[in-house]
Chains A and B, each alone.
Chain A
Amino acid sequence: MIGSLDTLVQHMDAVTEHFMRETASDWGEYPRGITPREEVWSAGNVSLLQFESPADAEGTPLLIVPSLINRWYILDVTEETSFIKAIAQKRPIFLIDWGYPGTEVGHLPLSHYYHKTIKRAIRQIRKITGTDKVDMLGYCIGGTMAYAFSCLEPDMVDHLILLTAPLDFSQAGILANYANTFPVEEFSASMEKMPGWLLAFSFQFIQPLGTYQKTKMFHKKCESEKFKKLFNAMERWISDPVDFPAKAYYELLTDLYQDNLLKQGKLTTAEGKTVDPAARKAKILVLNASKDHIAPIPTTLLPETDRAPFTQVTIPSGHIGITTGRNCMDACQNVIDFIMN
Chain B
Amino acid sequence: MFTMGEDMMKQWTENWEKLMGEHLEKLVHNEKFITEMSKSIAATMTGKAFYAKAMDEQMAALNLPSRTEIVKVLQKLTDIEERLIDLGERFEDYVEEQAKAKSSTESKPAAKPAKSSKGKGAAK
Instruction: Give me the interface of A with B, judged by CB distance under 8 Å.
Output: 1, 4-5, 8, 43-44, 102-108, 120, 123, 174, 177-178, 181-183, 186-187, 189-192, 205-206, 208-209, 212
Q: Which residue in chain B gives the minimum CB-CB distance to A182?
A: B38
Do A189 and B78 have beta carbons less than 8 Å apart? Answer: no
Q: Any chain A CB within 8 A of the CB of B35? A: yes
Do A187 and B45 have beta carbons less than 8 Å apart? Answer: yes
Do B25 and A208 have beta carbons less than 8 Å apart? Answer: yes
Do A177 and B29 have beta carbons less than 8 Å apart? Answer: yes
Do B8 and A106 have beta carbons less than 8 Å apart? Answer: no
Do B49 and A209 have beta carbons less than 8 Å apart? Answer: no
Q: From DSSP, what is the main secondary structure of chain B's interface residues?
A: helix
Provide the residues of chain B in CB contact with A177, threshold 8 Å: 29, 31, 34
**In whole Å, how far is A11's beta carbon from the nearest beta carbon of chain B?**
12
Q: Which of A120, A186, A208 is B28 in contact with, Cβ under 8 Å?
A: A208
Q: Which of A5, A120, A205, A209 is B20 in contact with, Cβ under 8 Å?
A: A209
CB-CB nearest 4 A-B residue pairs: A183-B42, A208-B24, A190-B49, A104-B74
| 12 A-B pairs (CB sep. < 8 Å) | A1-B9, A1-B12, A43-B85, A44-B81, A106-B71, A120-B85, A174-B28, A177-B29, A183-B41, A186-B46, A190-B48, A190-B52
Instruction: Give me the interface of B with A, judged by CB distance under 8 Å.
Output: 5, 8-9, 12, 17, 20-21, 24-25, 27-29, 31, 34-35, 37-39, 41-42, 45-46, 48-49, 52, 71, 74-75, 77-78, 81-82, 85, 89
Do B74 and A191 have beta carbons less than 8 Å apart? Answer: no
**In whole Å, how far is B91's beta carbon from the nearest beta carbon of chain A?**
13
**In whole Å, how far is B70's beta carbon from the nearest beta carbon of chain A?**
9
Do A181 and B78 have beta carbons less than 8 Å apart? Answer: no
**In whole Å, how far is B90's beta carbon from the nearest beta carbon of chain A?**
12
Q: Which of A1, A102, A187 is B8 in contact with, Cβ under 8 Å?
A: A1
Do A205 and B85 have beta carbons less than 8 Å apart? Answer: no
**In whole Å, how far is B4's beta carbon from the nearest beta carbon of chain A?**
11
**In whole Å, how far is A199's beta carbon from the nearest beta carbon of chain B?**
13
Q: A103-B71, A105-B78, A106-B75 are in contact. Are A178 and B34 (CB under 8 A)?
A: yes
A123 to B86, CA, bound (A): 12
Q: A120-B89, A177-B29 are in contact. Are A186 and B45 (CB under 8 A)?
A: yes
Q: A177-B34, A183-B38, A190-B52 are in contact. Are A43 and B81 (CB under 8 A)?
A: yes
Q: A181-B35, A186-B46 are in contact. Are A209 and B41 (CB under 8 A)?
A: no
Q: Which of B42, B77, B81 counts the most chain A CB atoms within 10 A? A: B42
Q: A43-B85, A44-B78, A104-B71 are in contact. Are A189 and B49 (CB under 8 A)?
A: yes
Do B38 and A181 have beta carbons less than 8 Å apart? Answer: yes
Do B41 and A104 have beta carbons less than 8 Å apart? Answer: no
Do B71 and A192 have beta carbons less than 8 Å apart? Answer: yes
A174 to B42, CA, bound (A): 19
Do B77 and A4 have beta carbons less than 8 Å apart? Answer: no
A174 to B17, CA, bound (A): 21
Q: Which of A4, A43, A107, A182 is B5 in contact with, Cβ under 8 Å?
A: A4
